[in-house]
Structure 1
Amino acid sequence: MSLIEKVSQENSDQRTVSPVPDVEKPAPAAPPAIPIPDGGLRAWLSVLGGWLVSFCTFGFASSFGVFEDYYVEHHASTSSNIAWIGSLQLFFLFFMGLPAGRLFDAGYFHHEIAFGTVLYVFSLMMLSLADPSRYYQLILAQGVGVGLGSGFLLVPALSVQAHHWRRRRSLAMGIVLTGSSVGGIIYPIMLNHLFRGSTGFAWGVRAAAFMTLGLLIIANFLLTTRLPSAKERRALGIPEPAEKPSMAAILTDAPYIIANVGAFLGLWGVFLPYFYLQLFVNAHGLSSTLAFYTIAILNAASILGRTIPNGIADRIGAFNTLTPTAAVIGGLVFVMFAAANSNGAVIVFAIFYGAFSGAFIPLLPPMLASMSRSPAEMGLRIGFGYCFSSLAMLTGTPIDGALLRPSNRWARAIVFSGVVILAGTACLATARTMHSRRKGTWKA
């Protein structure tokens, strides 16, 4: 008799002689949920580690206006072609959201962070060896290499905050993203002074690479996970969610698709000042000293946008916060026409534009997550939204550069960016109305 048959017979005999045959055995208890502390030393150290990653990756990418101005001056290519370098950085930074998120859930968090650190710093060193007049060297080292390294760093550093925070998760992520604003202050000032001084381009980039390496090594030690990965959950016998997310259902959700179109259009135009404001100031004969600080002013003001709107969104809803913010951003783009007249106007524009535009990207994840029908859908909805929006970041600023040709025709680029942002606002308003009706509440 086989082992299975013996066990079956023994179980049958036990049931036969059982003194209480009518009493059913209780179902096995589900494994207890792992508590999320919403604070503590490890949580705040992970916030600091994420802040350092945001400083080094998104902060560096937000400083591309310095490189745009330098490469144009050294005849690397046209302003439109050069913009592809910076747009590739942003593209990979967000396109990697889906694959990096899958690796994160599979338990490869520390592998991703370590690999991203090595690739990112190696690419910066390769950029320091590149000839600033050789376009293909710049696009491979900075556009592809730095961009891919950033993607393996930023998305996991943001995702791991969910292991430590529940109620204050938006605040924690907002604090992490302020690192990009501070990085967007430090990198432009440092690089402008190094590029224009006796240090030069090569050692200027190397100095940035050494600083970045030190900060990312610290981040590797500070960032920690708490919740088990998918593999560990299976080993522990923790059941998977009963309701699996359906990509087909998500892609046929009309409000969600319209919201993604709105985000795409907004991101198509929002980076014009971040890439071209320094060139804009120099082209209009304004203060060259001010030109060096325009990107830093933009990023300093964006600290307000990275934090305050997230707190407002927790109270009134992400849609209700993002939609009017996008409308203001679209209107502010047209203020660039007035900013050409004086140094003071440039400073005022940079402060207001940085404050409002800084809110756009941080509000996208809570907006997309709010449309989920179940918690199991959140990651997929955010990941798809990031991948889709990355195409806007890839093409938006090169289109602006093409519109500037052949003789810095700023009106065409300004009108294009302003119009697409306002069109995106209309899509967001439409999606917000549809989503609010479906939920049966004004808070969306």
Structure 2
Amino acid sequence: MADNSYNASPTLACVSMPDIGSPEKLDVENKAGESPPPSGPPDGGRDAWLTIIGGFLVQFCAFGYMNSFGVYQDYYTRDFLSNKTPSDISWIGSFQLFIMYALGVVVGHAFDSGYFHHTMVFGSVFYVFSMFMVSLAKPHHYYQVFLSQGVGMGIGQGILFLPSLTIVGHHFKRRRALASGIVVSGASVGGVVFPIMLSKIAQRTTFANSIRATAALVAVLLFIANLLMKTRLPDRTVGRPAPRPEVKGILSDWTFVIAVLGAFLTNLGLFFPYFYLQLYAVAQGIDPSVAFYALTILNSGSMIGRLLPNFLADSLGVYNMLIPFIVISAGLIFSLLGIHSFPSIVAFGALYGFSSGAYVSLIAPLLGQLSSHVGELGIRMGIAFSIVSIAMLIGTPVEGALLGRKDAEIVWSRSIIFCGVGHGHSGLHDDGNISVLVC
């Protein structure tokens, strides 16, 4: 590698993050009677770490619940929506992911405009309400599940997801990658806890009651998270003028554009194991009461992957940590072609969880590195997430449609190859220098 610095590539040089404490760079007028701009991220302190805990809880409840969709995919395919194909069912989860990312531009602009707490409170209420609506859906009524889970929960998660990541940039700069890793690790912990809750409670009562139990837990945790998180910029209500980031300038930043392109290709196949690994385990003859642990192990590996690489990224560089894990993830996907026993599925889940978790956790610090000042953090994330949302929408349904049947058994090879190829083409290389830009 040509350069191990934080701005890794000499071919596509990244914009260095300036001192966000500068009033000129913040583009905030220090008018008479207004509090002066903050002096820059403190990289610690009581408010900073409480905000990290709050962000962790939001990720636990939002993306963490999304990471448990494999339980729904398996249950809907075999029972609740057995009149629908795996592809039809995966549209529920993929549309949920799509909405969660597609709202990025709107939510990011609201964040930059000082409406952080407004969006968090509204998103929390709407999300919990939608979860309870899912529990009231009737068997074989696809539209009820799609509207309440795919649309309703997706909107709630979308409103919560981006602000809980972006707020890290208000409190951390030098240790931003580590702080972001701690926050997004909440999604992995949720991906461990929620599949166990859903499966165990459903075995003792009904699946609807298991959804209600998880919804109640989410309501309590989001209430606590809203009390913990704080923004360092003045709230919109104190008269701060809304920032006006140069969107045209962002879209003409080719380093940023290529990063988003790499993200789009990667996310076409990234969530295939998160949606289908439990169903894959059942298809290999593993008891369904045990198969759900494959998803739990996958998310356990992801939890470690979201912490260790981020700890190293602050010193070795975000790109230098990100690129190898993209390659490893692609190789692991192809290894599924030869995996049929439960121990090998467990090993795959742990390793793929680690590598994909590293990829997901480095998104926020990467976009922070590409931002010229704190006032455009939200809009840059929003633009990137909105574009990537299209890959989220079509990826898993396409993989579900590629699942064939032979003698009443599912044939997995086409979906696995599609997923692995998507990973393999997620970057660009130029003259031996690091120019693989993935988001």
- Alignment partner of 1:226: what SS? coil
Query: Distance between the aligned counterparts of 2:120 and 2:240, measured in 1?
Result: 24
Query: Distance between the aligned counterparts of 1:220 and 1:234, measured in 2?
Result: 22
Aligned to 1:409: 411
**What letter matches 1:194 in structure 2?**
I
On the 8 A contact 2:177/2:362 being kept in 1, the answer is no
Deviation, 1:286, is: 2.4
Deviation, 1:312, is: 2.4
Indicate which of 36, 52, 65 corresponds to 2:70.
65
Q: How does 1:5-404 map to 2 (within 5 A)?
A: 33-35=37-39, 36-74=41-79, 75-195=82-202, 197-229=203-235, 232=238, 234=240, 245-340=245-340, 342-372=341-371, 377-404=376-403
Cα separation, partners in 2 of 1:76 and 1:157, compared to 1, 3 Å? farther
Deviation, 1:176, is: 1.0
Cα separation, partners in 2 of 1:42 and 1:168, compared to 1, 3 Å? same
Rg: which structure is higher? 1
Query: Distance between the aligned counterparts of 1:383 and 1:223, measured in 2?
Result: 20
**What letter matches 2:154 in structure 1?**
G
Query: Distance between the aligned counterparts of 2:246 and 2:226, measured in 1?
Result: 34
**What letter matches 1:404 in structure 2?**
L
So what's the TM-score if we normalise by structure 1? Answer: 0.84
Aligned to 2:425: 423
Query: Distance between the aligned counterparts of 1:430 and 1:289, measured in 2?
Result: 49
**What letter matches 1:34 in structure 2?**
P
Deviation, 1:435, is: 5.6
Moved more, 403-412 or 186-195: 403-412
**What letter matches 2:274 in structure 1?**
Y
RCO comparison, higher one (Cα < 8 Å, 6+): 2
Query: Distance between the aligned counterparts of 1:318 and 1:170, measured in 2?
Result: 8
On the 8 A contact 2:174/2:314 being kept in 1, the answer is no
Deviation, 1:259, is: 2.2
On the 8 A contact 2:91/2:396 being kept in 1, the answer is yes
Q: For each residue in 1:224-278, what CA deviation from the matched residue of structure 2 results, as whole angstroms up to 9, or x when unmatched?
A: 222214664647xxxx98xx64333433343432222111111111111110000
Aligned to 2:27: none
Deviation, 1:44, is: 1.7
Deviation, 1:359, is: 1.2
Query: Distance between the aligned counterparts of 1:432 and 1:125, measured in 2?
Result: 53
- CA-based RMSD of the aligned residues comes to 2.6
Cα separation, partners in 2 of 1:234 and 1:377, compared to 1, 3 Å? closer
So what's the TM-score if we normalise by structure 2? Answer: 0.85
Deviation, 1:184, is: 0.3
On the 8 A contact 1:112/1:153 being kept in 2, the answer is yes
Query: Distance between the aligned counterparts of 1:432 and 1:203, measured in 2?
Result: 55
Aligned residue pairs, count? 401
Q: For each residue in 1:135-182, what CA deviation from the matched residue of structure 2 results, as whole angstroms up to 9, or x when unmatched?
A: 111110001100110111121222222333232222222111111111
On the 8 A contact 1:318/1:367 being kept in 2, the answer is yes
On the 8 A contact 2:124/2:156 being kept in 1, the answer is yes
On the 8 A contact 1:290/1:343 being kept in 2, the answer is no
Moved more, 368-377 or 202-211: 368-377
**What letter matches 1:403 in structure 2?**
L
Deviation, 1:133, is: 1.6
Cα separation, partners in 2 of 1:409 and 1:324, compared to 1, 3 Å? same
**What letter matches 1:414 in structure 2?**
I
- Residue identity over aligned pairs, in percent, reads 45
Q: For each residue in 1:88-116, what CA deviation from the matched residue of structure 2 results, as whole angstroms up to 9, or x when unmatched?
A: 22112222222112112222222211111
- Alignment partner of 1:358: what SS? helix
Query: Distance between the aligned counterparts of 1:411 and 1:88, measured in 2?
Result: 24
- Alignment partner of 2:42: what SS? coil
Cα separation, partners in 2 of 1:46 and 1:398, compared to 1, 3 Å? same
Query: Distance between the aligned counterparts of 1:39 and 1:249, measured in 2?
Result: 32
On the 8 A contact 2:185/2:361 being kept in 1, the answer is no
- Alignment partner of 2:84: what SS? coil
On the 8 A contact 2:115/2:236 being kept in 1, the answer is no
On the 8 A contact 1:76/1:132 being kept in 2, the answer is no
Moved more, 35-44 or 304-313: 35-44
**What letter matches 2:387 in structure 1?**
F
On the 8 A contact 2:37/2:233 being kept in 1, the answer is no
**What letter matches 2:318 in structure 1?**
A
Q: For each residue in 1:18-74, what CA deviation from the matched residue of structure 2 results, as whole angstroms up to 9, or x when unmatched?
A: xxxxxxxxxx99985413332222222211111111110000000000000000012
Which one has a larger percent helix, Structure 1 or Structure 2?
A: 1
Q: For each residue in 1:401-434, what CA deviation from the matched residue of structure 2 results, as whole angstroms up to 9, or x when unmatched?
A: 000034522000000000110011x33x459947
Deviation, 1:373, is: 5.4
Query: Which runs of 5 or more structure 2 residues have no equivalent in the other structure?
Result: 1-30
Query: Which runs of 5 or more structure 1 residues have no equivalent in the other structure?
Result: 1-27, 437-444
